[in-house]
Amino acid sequence: MMGIFSQAGSHIRRARGLSVEDRPPEDTEPDDTSILDDNEGSVIISLISQLRVGMDLSKVTFPTFVLEPRSMLERITDFMSHPDLIFGAEDCPEPDERFIRVLQYYLAGWHIKPKGVKKPYNPVLGEFFRCRYDYSNGTRGFYVAEQVSHHPPISAFFYISPENRLTIVGELRPKSKFLGNSVSTTMEGENRIMLLGKPDDGDYVVTMPNMYARGILFGKMVQELGDTCAVKNERHRLSCDLEFKTKGFFSGTYNAIVGRVRKGGNDTGEISGRWSHVMEFKSTPNGTKRLLFDAAKDGQNIAPKYVAPEDEQEPYESRRLWHKLTQAIEAKDMEAATRAKTAVEDAQRDLRRRRDEKGEIFVPRYFELRDGRWYPKLSIPQDSSDTAIQTVESFIWPSA
Predicted local distance difference test score (pLDDT) of residue 204: 96
How far apart CA 91 and CA 196 sit, in angstroms, is 11
Q: Which amino acid is residue 336, in one-letter code?
A: A
Q: Looking at the predicted structure, is the pLDDT value of residue 232 above 90?
A: yes
Angle (CA) 162-168-174 rounded to 5° is 155
Q: What is the DSSP letter of 2?
A: T
Q: Looking at the predicted structure, is the pLDDT value of residue 21 above 50?
A: no
**pLDDT tens, 146-193?**
999 988 899 999 999 999 999 999 999 887 776 666 677 778 889 999
Average pLDDT, the chain: 81
pTM here is: 0.83
Predicted local distance difference test score (pLDDT) of residue 7: 32
**Reported confidence tier of residue 112, pLDDT bands at 50, 70, 90:** confident
**pLDDT tens, 50-90?**
545 554 445 555 556 567 889 999 999 988 888 889 999 99
Helix (H) or strand (E) holding 295: helix 295-298
- Distance of CA 378 to CAs 122, 159, 313, Å? 26, 12, 22
- Distance of CA 168 to CAs 190, 345, 349, 354, 396, Å? 10, 30, 32, 35, 15
Q: Looking at the predicted structure, is the pLDDT value of residue 34 above 50?
A: no
Percentage of the residues of the chain whose pLDDT score is greater than 90: 53
Tell me: cis bond preceding 376? Omega within 30 of 0 counts.
no
Predicted local distance difference test score (pLDDT) of residue 87: 94
Q: Shortest CA distance to 384 belongs to which of 200, 197, 203? A: 197
Predicted local distance difference test score (pLDDT) of residue 301: 84
Predicted local distance difference test score (pLDDT) of residue 48: 46
**pLDDT tens, 119-139?**
788 899 999 999 999 998 899
